[in-house]
């Protein structure tokens, strides 16, 4: 009986249909393995050359990697007082923070299985040093979603409302506080923003040629400001800082850049480009405004007395919505909440000798006195 190799080698002679086929070569195990190894090496080399150069890799690898490197570089430069160029700021503003913030908001609102809630929230507590002792509910399995955990209420008696004229509206770190006697106001030391760009056109009082003077009820007074940054681990609800009345709201659908303190040192006018809800009214000394500023990954800003407010929605970034409504607030009353950390800015009219009882960089809690107590001021 002929071996199979002999039959295969005779096929081109026996059948004319196989004339173009080459004669069969004897099977060699070593050479086949060598060829397979060589082909695998060639394929892997080609894969290594192309896996970082295709269209998909640009969005899944290069963009996240570049973002991390750029933010890290900005942090290093902030520590050495580096001045950022306008080109770099424009490049940073090009990142789709509004889209990613909406996606994060939807993800944070998803209900988590009870079995993994303790693990997820416990990890968050350790990463951002969350103080659960102040929470109304300490059981982590109680919170259905990350968003619900972010906006957790305080237990009764967790905060003391001081008898001062003006108190802190939220937990956080003071970025800047003090008199604001010009149209250019410091957001942090050495970095300013425009008062008119921040508040917008004055439609709530008699207009004058000078925007600054048009805000004042008493021309002997000056404006004062207090900027408080809420970190991701802070209590995310904010309260009314004093007894006042709001009669006008303006919503700027701006960008959602990070408002981290070191980022505020790099970008001048950061608060004038970010999305914000400005509430304007009056208090004891005249003009008073309270502004909630949005930031990266802040899914929304919610104001309890203003259910019509909708933030971080699709559309043009330069939209401005106005709403007139008179609402009176008492000191310490719940005002609204952030879905993640952000910033509260107080701008108000007061006498020139009005003084804050704190400095930039200090940490404050809801209800803590920002000024001297009423008895001390009477003296």
Which pairs count as long-range contacts for 154-161, CB under 8 Å and 24+ apart, including other chains? 154/235, 154/237, 154/366, 158/134, 159/134, 159/365, 159/366, 159/367, 160/367, 161/331, 161/332, 161/367
Within 10 Å of residue 8's Cβ, how many Cβ atoms?
15
Q: Is 56 helix (H, G, I), strand (E, B) or coil?
A: helix
Could you state, in chain order, the average pLDDT of each consecutive group of 10 residues for the chain (379 residues)?
53 51 50 50 51 61 70 63 64 74 82 92 90 92 91 91 93 90 76 87 80 89 92 91 94 83 77 90 94 79 90 78 92 90 90 87 93 51
Catalytic residue among 224, 236, 239, 285: 239
Lay out the sheet containing 301-303: strands in order across: 237-239, 334-338, 301-303
Per the annotation, the verdict on 101 as an active-site residue is no
What is the pLDDT at residue 292? 93
Q: Clarify whether 342 is annotated catalytic.
A: yes
The predicted pLDDT at position 47 comes to 46
What pLDDT score was predicted for residue 210? 85
Q: Exactly one of 171, 234, 246, 251 is catalytic; which is it?
A: 171
Is this prediction's pTM over 0.95?
A: no
pLDDT for the residue 139: 92
Active site annotation includes 306: no
Please give the pLDDT value at position 375.
Answer: 41
Q: 153, 237 in Cβ contact below 8 A?
A: yes
178 forms beta bridges with: 225
pLDDT at 9: 54
Structure confidence at residue 280 (pLDDT): 95
């Amino acid at each position: 009986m002929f071996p199979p190799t002999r039959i295969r080698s005779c096929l081109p002679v026996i059948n004319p249909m196989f004339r173009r086929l080459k004669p069969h070569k004897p099977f060699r195990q070593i050479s086949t393995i060598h060829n397979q190894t060589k082909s695998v090496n060639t394929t892997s080399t080609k894969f290594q050359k192309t896996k970082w150069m295709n269209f998909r890799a640009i969005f899944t690898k290069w963009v996240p990697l570049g973002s991390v490197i750029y933010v890290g570089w900005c942090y290093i430069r902030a520590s050495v007082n580096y001045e950022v160029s306008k080109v770099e700021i424009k490049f940073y503003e090009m990142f789709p923070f509004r889209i990613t913030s909406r996606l994060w908001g939807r993800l944070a609102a998803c209900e988590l299985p009870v079995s993994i809630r303790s693990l997820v929230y416990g990890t968050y507590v350790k990463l951002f040093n969350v103080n659960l002792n102040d929470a109304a509910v300490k059981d982590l399995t109680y919170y259905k979603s990350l968003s619900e955990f972010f906006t957790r209420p305080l237990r009764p008696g967790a905060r003391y409302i001081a008898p001062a004229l003006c108190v802190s509206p939220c937990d956080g770190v003071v970025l800047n506080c003090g008199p604001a006697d010009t149209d250019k106001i410091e957001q942090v030391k050495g970095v300013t923003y425009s008062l008119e760009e921040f508040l917008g056109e004055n439609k709530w009082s008699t207009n004058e040629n000078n925007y600054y003077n048009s805000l004042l009820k008493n021309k002997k007074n000056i404006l004062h400001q207090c900027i408080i940054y809420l970190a991701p681990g802070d209590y995310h609800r904010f309260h009314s800082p004093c007894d006042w009345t709001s009669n006008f709201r303006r919503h700027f659908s701006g960008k959602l850049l990070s408002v981290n303190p070191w980022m505020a040192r790099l970008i001048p006018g950061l608060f004038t480009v970010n999305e914000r809800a400005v509430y304007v009214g009056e208090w004891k000394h005249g003009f008073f405004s309270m502004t909630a500023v949005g930031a990266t990954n802040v899914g929304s800003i919610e104001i309890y007395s203003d259910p019509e407010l909708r933030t971080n929605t699709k559309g043009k970034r330069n939209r401005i919505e106005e709403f007139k409504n008179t609402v009176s607030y008492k000191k310490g009353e719940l005002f609204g909440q952030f879905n993640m950390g952000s910033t509260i800015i107080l701008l108000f009219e007061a006498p020139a000798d009005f003084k804050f009882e704190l400095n930039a960089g200090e940490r404050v809690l809801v209800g803590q006195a920002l000024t001297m107590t009423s008895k001390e001021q009477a003296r």
